[in-house]
Structure 1
Amino acid sequence: MKGWNMFAEIKQYKLKGFNKSQVSRFLKINYKTVDKYWNMSYEEYAELKEEAKNRRKKVDKHRELILSWIKEFRDISTAQIYDWLKERYSEVDFSDRTLRLYVKDLREKYELPKVPCARQYEEIPELPMGYQAQVDLGQTWLSKRDGSKIKAYCFAMVLSHSRYKFLWWKDKPFNTLSFIEAHNKAFEYFGGMPKEIVYDQDRILAVSENHGDIIFTEMFQNYISSMKFKTRLCRAFDPESKGKIEAVVKYAKYNFAKHRAFIDIDLLNEDSFKWLDRTGNAKVHEITRKVPKEVFTLEKEHLQKVPSLFENIQLNNSLTYTVRKNNTISYKQNRYQVPKGTYRPGKEVKLIINDNKMNIVDLDTELVIATHSISNQKGKLIQIYHPEREKKKTRDEMYDKALKALGMTDEAKELLDNIRKEKERYCRDQFGLIISVVKDYDEKLVGQAVEYCVKRKLFSAGMFKDTLEYLSIKKETGSEKKYDKANLSISSKYQDVKPEIRNIDEYINALKGDKKTWIN
């Protein structure tokens, strides 16, 4: 509500006996506005409106510049105009809201409505044979015979030149491993692979595009490094840049899968291959006006040979992974521990997946260095099981086992009690170390070590281990280990230098508080 209408409404409510607060609520305007016009006459209001019309606005000094921008860039926003003004003049003495109203009035006065910029497209030449393929994922609901529904997930790959298509269906969402498996099946179906593959920014293969620098998930990066094909990611929310595969996914969903009864995933894939041979790759393409199957017979000769690693990946589900500095490898957003000392710069290991088990194999020795159960969680550290820690055992059980290993003596009990008291957080590890160490020594020597540690208050499994080694050496040699006297020599440069000998009286005076003597 603006202008004369608002002013008239305020005057009418005033004549009816309403107060300012009531009028503010009725008209849904600020109380200060009501107060401003409450006692103003119609003549005064008319003069105020005339002054406002003729009053120079702060934005007027930029009028011609703003108008030129609006005329040149019909889709320019007020926010961008405001920023350009600040860029040119450092500071502006009006708000962005003021500018927005001003720009609106200018557009209406000069009939320059804001026109959105339509995206321009350009037809590009057909890519050469065997150069590029495009990949995307899709999903659709299928009906079972019992009337229930199941979601089917589709992997699609199309060769950009011939438009020859491949489809692979699953009854569960694709992860990185099954995504790689689908690639292998596509390459087998084509009898080779292209030089470049275009992808959408899917989380199972890429973390981000990072302003042109593609960051793939570690597993997929290892795969493309092994297979040696180029990759390119489409911009986010930009289906036009991968229109060929978008059309294939849509074709598969609405021509093949729609209204199809789901029996099992294997039969669905079997029917899908028949559909490709019968329809998907057999009909004349609307753009090329050629049959994909016929063009493919020529394009097939230009595909790259799949590396021999393909068979190993397909049969063993194995990939190479880089060992990190903290002796872990990253797999599906979890960290899996390898033995300490495995890491060195550039060190790689092979990962073999069988069901929910993972074997980590050293590439140099071909030996399994660690075995883990695959975690379904995210961000977890899966550690190697250390037998000496007996993690499934309680502290009391480990205490009892350690006490038994030390001979069940009072000294052994005192040693273990103090270890549990002083190293409460790590007492289970401490007891585990004691249990593993005493196996290599006889009972008499173990008893002496316990007595030695208790007597000297050495309440630590590490100190107990060192004591056992010390007593064992002493027993074998018959005496304590002797150390040769260090041969220390003074440099000839300082052999004739004699230190100054201070008079003992100076120290006595200092102790008595004679600060003056001490300072001098």
Structure 2
Amino acid sequence: MERLLMFLEVHQLKEQGFKVAAIAKKLKLSRNTVYKYLDMDLEEASDWVNSLGSRRKKLDPYRARIINWLKEHPDLSSAQIEDWLRERDPTIEIGGSTIRGYVSEIRDIYHIPKGIHIRHHESVEELPMGQQVQVDWGEITVKNSLNKEVKLYFITFVLAHSRYKYVEWLARPFTTRDTIHCHERAFQYFGGMPEEIVYDQDHLITVSENAGDIILTGEFQAYKQERGFRIYLCRKADPATKGKVENVVKFVKGNFAKHRVFSNIDTWNEKCLSWLERTGNYNVHNTIKKRPVEVHALEKQHLKPVSSLLSFESNIGSSITRTVQKDNVIKYKSNRYSVPLGTYRPRGNNTVFIEIQEEELIISVAPQGEILAKHRLCHGKGELIKNRQHTRDRSKGIQAYKETIIRQFSDQEKAELFIHEVAVRYPRYVRDQLQVIQQAITHYRSEIEEALSVCIKDQLWSANDLRDIAQHITRLKETKTPSPPSKQKVKNNNPAIKATVATREMNVYFNIIGGVS
């Protein structure tokens, strides 16, 4: 009877001049349903309604359960209802399209609309097998058995080619160490490691941005070097770059976690792994039109094998280290201490080592290595202890500064090209880059020309690269050419003492060695 009344309302609104879209919105129906009612006359509608009462459907035994779910959670998707049905009855054999139609029909009968959220994505080319994994984090608030809200955090991994997924949950925010451990378990789950991993600029793996470059946290940098994968950092919410994993985050929230009752984190993770096997990696993917689990069986052969041990974990944290911040300072006991401008490296490891000797803080590039700075210890808090020699040279304008540096090279054409490219890539940090180049010229004057040629040949347009290459060339020359033994004469430091060397006849020496007298 309800459907017959709805049929009459649709025709009445149409006679009053309402358009199909307006009728659908007013009566909370889909446009297809409105079109269906408008195509019927009263007799056809009566016959159709009567036939519904006698026709039995496969999902009728679950009808009451589905209605309760929809009434309690109107935003449930048919895909999530499908997963819930399969979770409670693994033997059910009903196609996804049948469930979608049945759920849609129930929504129409009981007027249970679903909120629609539209998000625009850009299509990208498919990547080869084993090339890339995309990683992202998410969080969601669910209710426990006491009907109290609990906030849960998760990390997701998805192989870009096969769409094979891995998810892990925590009941607290992730740390960098948690992230590393999850990577290891994901590699074990995938059966290997890809060539490249795509991330957001998340604080768990990155420190900050400087001169257009992104650096990693010390702990994650050590892990990257240990495993040897390549990373790509992109902007947050960038669907063109990491849309696959963003869809996975949405899928995990909407299909697995939404309206699920939380008991404890271990059980939650177990259920999530079951969900991955049952739904997340088993259902046909809408884009590739294949089951991720089947494509992964082929892609697995293209992943790099990984060992089960990480050597860096036993070494990390064994020394007193600090990370150089982008403003070329380190933090120690709530104070900031400066290091020479240019110490901060936009690409590379910014870890330095500190040592306390009496009332002096010594900062070096390695244990017992080159000393970068020395400061008197500050016993206050929130102070900036800065050596004035660590500041930038502001006495020249940018253009004059460029010309001054170019004139110090014998091949000024190459120097001009290099400095031009540096200025293009680091427009906000030109003076900082020039300062690093000047320091490199001062410390490695004999090797700077060769380092410049290497940078231009390999297209390394950074002052830090120029400095590092010059330093590397210097060390190579030092190891190949051992320094000759010292031939300096011993100086008499006490002018009051005057010694005269005695002279003897040759016969004296012959008598001593037993020769002819």
Range of TM-score over shorter length: 0.3 to 0.5
TM-score by length of 1: 0.40
Whose relative contact order is higher, 1 or 2, with alpha carbons under 8 Å and at least 6 apart? 2
Structure showing greater Rg: 1
TM-score by length of 2: 0.40
